[in-house]
Amino acid sequence: MFKFLAVRHAQGTQYIANLRQAQAAGLRGLPTIGAPDCATGCQQCVAVCPSQAISLAPLTIDMGRCVLCGDCAPACPSQTLGFSNDFHMASTERSGLHISAARPHIDPVQVSAALRQRFGRSLKLRSVSAGGCNGCEMEINALGNVNFDLGRYGIDIVASPRHADGLVLSGPISRNMVQALHQCWDAMPNPKLVIAVGACAISGGVFADSDAIDRDFLDRIQPTLYLPGCPTHPLTFISGILDLLGIAT
């Protein structure tokens, strides 16, 4: 009994009170793009990017592709590129994930009144890893730990697609998972939505060119929420989903 109490005492208060305002110390998060001062013909950042996330004229980063590896920043001779600790990277539109010097932030998540009314107090999610590397999956698991405690908002990961309102998709969608993914989606009752977690789910990420992936599923169903990252940081996930449902912190 005393051992239980001692462990409980050492645990203290672990939950993060305001998840939107939390600090992700050290996180290599949202890139910063300085005033474009690129030398003519310079392609250094494009060449080192492992997921074709960077395009030039004007210098634009597609956060749906970016894996936040950080390799572009030291490669840039004019020091235009850098990274901030900002984890607010969610968007409801795929096109909203493009950032540039003129548009340094991702388009804010559009709060949906309909979604808020239906799921604002209870949203049940089913996670499907379709070729994920277990990075996003571990971060999705971390959403339920005592620090992030997503359950406090009535948002839970459930065991069966029959109980789920949303499909949390991670991984680039390996061909070998296509059938199971479709079956899971079809087993979910309407109304339902897809949340794309991580660069792999959003764009294929570093696997986009592989012959072993098949992304037809996303041609059929457009995600309601895009959560960039590699893997998606739990704070990116939580702030994005709270914004979508208009939940106050």
Partner 1 sequence: MTSANASLLLCDLRTLPTLTLTQLSDQCGAQLALGARLITLFGRPLQPAQHPTSAFQVTAVLLVSDGGGHALQVLRAQAQSLEHYPALSATFPCAQSHERELWEQTGLVPDGHPWLKPVRFEGARQQHMHEYPFFVVRGQEVHEVGVGPIHAGVIEPGHFRFMCLGEQVQHLEIQLGYQHRGVEALLLRRPPLALTPLVESVCGDSCVAYAWAYCAAVEALGNRPASLETELTRGIALEMERIAMHLATLGGLAGDVAFLQGASTYGRLRTAIINATQRVCGNRFGRGWLRPGQMLALDTARRVDLIETLTRFRRDWVQVNDLLLHSASVALRFKGTGLVSQTAAQELGLSGPVARASGVESDLRRTLPGRLYSAYPIDTHRMSDGDCWARMHQRMFEVSQSTQWLLGVLGNFSLDLQSPPTPHKPVATTLQANALCVSLIEGTRGPTVHALETDDQGALLHYKIQDPSLPNWFGLAMAMRDNTLSDFPICNKSFDLSYCGNDL
Could you list the residues that contact partner 1 (CB under 8 A)?
3-4, 6-8, 10-11, 14, 24-28, 48, 50-51, 67-71, 83, 127-142, 145-147, 157, 159-161, 171-172, 174-180, 184, 200, 205-207, 209-213, 230-231, 233
Give 100's contacts (C-beta < 8 A, 6+ positions apart). 33, 58, 59, 60, 61
Nearer to partner 1, 171 or 240 (CB): 171
CB of 4 to partner 1, least distance (A): 6
SS3 98: strand
Nearer to partner 1, 112 or 241 (CB): 241
CB of 12 to partner 1, least distance (A): 9
Nearer to partner 1, 5 or 39 (CB): 5
SS3 99: strand
Sheet holding 98-100, edge to edge: 54-55, 60-62, 98-100
Q: Could you give the dihedral angle defined by the CA atoms of residues 108, 229, 162 and 92, in that order, rounded to the nearest 10 degrees? A: 20
Reply yes or no: is the peptide bond before residue 231 cis, omega within 30 of 0: yes
CB of 228 to partner 1, least distance (A): 14
Nearer to partner 1, 113 or 138 (CB): 138
Q: Please answer whether residues 191 and 165 qualify as being in contact, where contact means their C-beta atoms are separated by less than 8 angstroms.
A: yes
Using CA atoms, how far apart are residues 123 and 177, in angstroms rounded to an integer? Answer: 25
Nearer to partner 1, 211 or 219 (CB): 211
Using CA atoms, how far apart are residues 38 and 53, in angstroms rounded to an integer? Answer: 17
CB of 47 to partner 1, least distance (A): 8
Nearer to partner 1, 92 or 238 (CB): 238
CB of 82 to partner 1, least distance (A): 12
CB of 100 to partner 1, least distance (A): 22
Residue that has been written with the tokens 């989606």 in this structure: 185
Nearer to partner 1, 36 or 135 (CB): 135
Using CA atoms, how far apart are residues 228 and 157, in angstroms rounded to an integer? Answer: 19
Closest CA to 167 of 246, 219, 223, 214: 223
CB of 93 to partner 1, least distance (A): 25
